[in-house]
Amino acid sequence: MPVFQSLLQVKAERGGGFLLLIDPDRADGNTLPSLTEAARDCGVDAILVGTSLSTHGNFHRVVRQVKAHTDLPVIIFPGSHSQITPDADAILFTSLLSGRNPQFLIDEQVRGAPMIKEYGIEAIATGYLLIASGRYTSVQYMSNTLPIPSDKPDIVCAHALAAQYLGMSTVFLEAGSGAEYAVPDHVIDAVARYIDLPLIIGGGIRTPEEVDAKISAGASLVVVGDHFEKNSNDLNRLREFTVAAHPTERIPV
């Protein structure tokens, strides 16, 4: 089954999905195997590997290492076409629709498309929308674009609808790694009601309660990475995050 189809099935059966994001620049090669094994054991639905800027030149190695220690889908969340590797199962083929920088609207996509075809990676067409998060984030700096104000849900909805009409498979609402606050629930609710595509929500999510709130607001998939990078001792709580993303599987109290 294609990776994206399997994630939609997870959403249908479990009420939502949880994606663990691994940043290759912050990944510890010694603890990476235990992290990926914990992801599998705790109910993570897929692993994203991505970074705004690969400074250590180990992106491909980290993807291979993650893939070697898990049978979960491994999906590239690329900052540029240089982060495309044949070892992944799929790639979020993103276009930064919230910005007006042609490099991330189409240039990187043109450079990366032939590589994706050659490697046989599943491409998941993704409308990528950066939402203001109270902090100047890495993705904002590296993309040289302005985020959509978080108090302007009508603008977010218009961009998301454009993604749908362009034929994309999903919309990713992103606050950015290390965001001060996550994409507001009222924005998620507005977009979920306005378009017919599944929503991926990431950035600034630090607790299981926030995961639950994003799913309840209309998210199909929730992405968390920065929290576990900064709190490596918190892996015992990873299951709490995945349970929060799977509301139909909770045992009634």
Q: What is the pLDDT of residues 116-149, one digit of tens each?
A: 999 999 999 999 999 999 999 989 999 999 999 9
Alpha-carbon span 63 to 253, nearest angstrom? 40
pLDDT at residue number 8: 98
Question: Which residue has better confidence, 224 or 253?
Answer: 224
| CATH code: domain of residue 78 | 3.20.20.390
Q: CB of 229 within 8 A of CB of 23?
A: yes
3-class secondary-structure state, position 114 = helix
Count of the separate structural domains present in the chain? 1
Fill in the DSSP letter of residue 82.
Answer: G
pLDDT digits (tens, 9 = 90+) for 35-93: 898 999 999 999 999 998 777 678 999 999 999 999 999 999 999 999 999 999 999 99
Alpha-carbon span 61 to 51, nearest angstrom? 14
**Separation of first and last alpha carbons in the chain:** 35
pLDDT at residue number 17: 98
* Phi, psi (degrees; rounded to nearest 5) at 58: -115, 20
- The overall average pLDDT reported for the chain is 93
Which DSSP helix (H) or strand (E) runs through 238? Answer: helix 238-245
Rounded to 10 degrees, the C-alpha dihedral 102/103/107/111 comes to: -170
Q: Is the pLDDT at 235 greater than 60, yes or no?
A: yes
Reported residue count of the chain is: 253
pLDDT at residue number 227: 67
pLDDT at residue number 103: 97
Q: Is the pLDDT at 204 greater than 90, yes or no?
A: yes
The domain in which residue 46 lies consists of 3-249
Which DSSP helix (H) or strand (E) runs through 125? Answer: strand 122-130
Percent of the chain surpassing pLDDT 70: 95
Query: Considering the entire predicted model, what is its pTM?
Result: 0.96
Q: How far is CA 167 from the centre of its chain?
A: 19
pLDDT at residue number 233: 60
pLDDT at residue number 178: 79
Alpha-carbon span 108 to 93, nearest angstrom? 10
pLDDT at residue number 27: 79
